[in-house]
Structure 1
Amino acid sequence: GADVVHAHGLHAAARTALALSGRSVPLVMTWHTRRYAEGARRQILHLLERRAVRAAAVVLAPSSDLVDRARLRGARDARLAPAAAPSPRSSQAPHEGKVRAELGAVERPLLVAVGSLVPHHGFGTLLDAARVWRALDPVPLVVVAGEGRDRSALQQRIRDEELPVRLVGSRDDAGELIAAADLAVLPSRWEGRSLLAQEALRLGVPLVATEVGGVPELVGEAAELVPFGNGEALARAVVRLLGDPERCAWLAEAGREQAAGWPTEDDTIAHVLSVYDELAQPSPHPR
């Protein structure tokens, strides 16, 4: 049989704990992301969190706030786990001028956001900010790559309010969109180790992001941070950067330096294997 079982996510951990009931096999749980719910669903979610983290011998999490949440829910051992940044694409990306031309941002600033079109990603706040940007000259183009249940509502707002925003759907070339952008924007309610933030910093694209979850520890000083849900603060931060090329250049360099210090895939693998080895060792004081 297995010496250690590793489950990824709350639901997988809860199901695995049930399957391991009555057995002495240690469970490792990686808690990747925080979920949100309201009303009765919120109570069910909290119950699921408690059951999952209490069943695990070790809970691994990508951000300090999730480690704290696991401990609050009763985890015996919760640890911050190094998570590797995605590997750069090996293929040659198209020239950014071509990407910008295809998007319609040749002689105007290009802002790029990436994520599922769901409430906790904060795209409603992004549209609030876009109302302010309509007054700029030239008016920036905001491109949002992603799909989700909020698409029709967001598209309706874009039409009704004549916002300079394009929803381009799911894209395999999201990294190329980010590389072509003047700024990347992350308006989420919560992120652990945001792929958009990692890609932007590594590419040297200035980032404006919400100060939530694991974002501050991921980006350090290499991004402009704003409160979640505050469209005015988001709008102001973007306007400031669009008018301050020196600050943008500083953020670009700081982003590359910050990204150079992130864990590698080897770091991530070594850490997980060390946890397995620790748990697989026979106890020196058998009961």
Structure 2
Amino acid sequence: MRRVILVRPRAEGGLLAHVREEALLLARAGVRVVDAGEEALVSKATCNASASGIHHRPLAIASGASPRQAWGARRALREIVREEVEGADGELLTVHAHGARAGAIAALALTPKLRARVRLVTTLHNRMPRSGFAALIGRALFTLASRKSALILAVSPDLAVAARARGARRVEGAVIPAPGVALDGERGPGQSDVLEVLCVARLAPQKDLACLCEAARIVEERYPGALRVRIAGEGPERQNLSSRITAEKLPIKLLGRVEDPRALMREADVVVQTSLWEGQPVALQEAISEGAAVIATDAGGTRWVTGEEIPLAAPGEAREIAEQLIAVLPPVPGSRARLEQMREASRRRAEQLPTEDDLLAQLESALFPDTRDEER
């Protein structure tokens, strides 16, 4: 039986959803999946036939963990690997780490003896910190993961370039499909006198929701009452955003965490993303799959999601975002036609988005290659 150990840090959102999808796909394909993470990917309450092949082993890899905690994670992972190697009956075992920190700890966990029987693949999900002590540690972990992995899967072009610069032997773009995408072709032009805008994002600096606030302020100043913005998500920036929304009387509502953002996407006229950096944003894939009009920034791997069908704004350019919103406001002549053109662009792009089958094909190639064709 083929075996994979999925090593993941403490995470939520897109990374966690992607690893869960990978685990379920591999389990359905008959692979023994060891889920090495702090909490189980799939709860016993929701366990089904597919999930029965997923075996959770506790492993804590926290962001900003101390060297002592990291060394403890290395020791715990080494024990997990040894047990799986013993059960592999001579077959090659694959460790698939998600994130530079997990990849580095996995590299440290593999002794020379284990490395002869274990293949390490690392998916890079986030860029390195830019400044301070965290940047020094981050670069070291990124370099170690890049150099010691047989294959790097990068979720954005800049991460692929960085991995090669840090000594990665092989680098490929990671396939990140949105779970269960299904185009709703019944959408039509908005009929309201107000443009309904949705943003699905963690309330964190990387998402640059201050840019969205500024864009909304510009629109409201020129077309009072023509715009309503809802933001679905939670995070450390909630208080700052709430204070600004109140102080500036912005037409923005914070919804908090939402279980089914796609239902909101079907109600919205436009889905907006103003991030400074993204991997391959699942929320945008979902919006495109719903045939929603999309306004987004050209950040990280966003272009890998939108393709050339959907024009992107420069990160941090609130005025550019505002002008794109103004172009589709109900009071503006030709706005309905422009909105329908944007929706049609999303429908065309939706047909090109990666699927679960594409992800499974990449996993088969990345995790279970013919090792005779590779240099270990």
Q: TM-score range by the shorter chain?
A: 0.7 to 0.9
What does residue 196 of structure 2 align with?
A: 110
Q: Letter of the 1:252 partner, please give it.
A: R
Uncovered stretches (5+) of structure 1, i.e. residues with no partner? none
What does residue 157 of structure 1 align with?
A: 244
Higher RCO by CA contacts (8 Å cutoff, separation 6 or greater): 1
Return closer, same or farther for 1:35/1:140 CA change in 2, 3 Å cut-off: farther
Structure 1: 4+ residue segments shifted above 6 A: 283-286
Specify which of 145, 166, 169 is matched with residue 76 of structure 1. 169
Return closer, same or farther for 1:55/1:140 CA change in 2, 3 Å cut-off: same
Give distance in 2, aligned partners of 1:166 and 1:256: 28
Q: Letter of the 1:3 partner, please give it.
A: L
Per-residue CA deviation, residues 103-125 of structure 1 (Å, 9 max, x unaligned), is xx964211100111010111011
Specify which of 332, 353, 358 is matched with residue 262 of structure 1. 353
Q: Letter of the 2:285 partner, please give it.
A: Q
Specify which of 31, 44, 47 is matched with residue 140 of structure 2. 47
What does residue 121 of structure 2 align with?
A: 28
State the shift of 1:284 in Å.
Answer: 8.3
Q: Letter of the 2:202 partner, please give it.
A: S
Give the total of aligned pairs. 275
TM-score (norm 1): 0.88
What does residue 57 of structure 1 align with?
A: 150
TM-score (norm 2): 0.68
Alpha-carbon contact 2:278-2:299 (below 8 Å) kept? yes
Q: Letter of the 1:192 partner, please give it.
A: G
Query: Aligned runs of 1:1-287 on 2, under 5 Å?
Result: 1=85, 2-22=92-112, 23-24=115-116, 25-88=118-181, 107-135=193-221, 136-242=223-329, 243=332, 244-278=335-369, 281-282=371-372
Return closer, same or farther for 1:241/1:21 CA change in 2, 3 Å cut-off: farther
Of all paired residues, the percent bearing the same amino acid is 34
Q: Letter of the 2:219 partner, please give it.
A: W
Mean Cα displacement is larger for which, 204-213 or 66-75? Answer: 66-75
Task: Say which SS state the counterpart of residue 26 (structure 1) adopts.
Answer: strand
State the shift of 1:38 in Å.
Answer: 2.7
Alpha-carbon contact 2:156-2:173 (below 8 Å) kept? yes
Give distance in 2, aligned partners of 1:285 and 1:63: 25
Task: Say which SS state the counterpart of residue 213 (structure 1) adopts.
Answer: coil
Return closer, same or farther for 1:215/1:284 CA change in 2, 3 Å cut-off: closer
Return closer, same or farther for 1:285/1:122 CA change in 2, 3 Å cut-off: closer
Give distance in 2, aligned partners of 1:277 and 1:149: 40
Give distance in 2, aligned partners of 1:264 and 1:175: 17
Return closer, same or farther for 1:141/1:277 CA change in 2, 3 Å cut-off: same
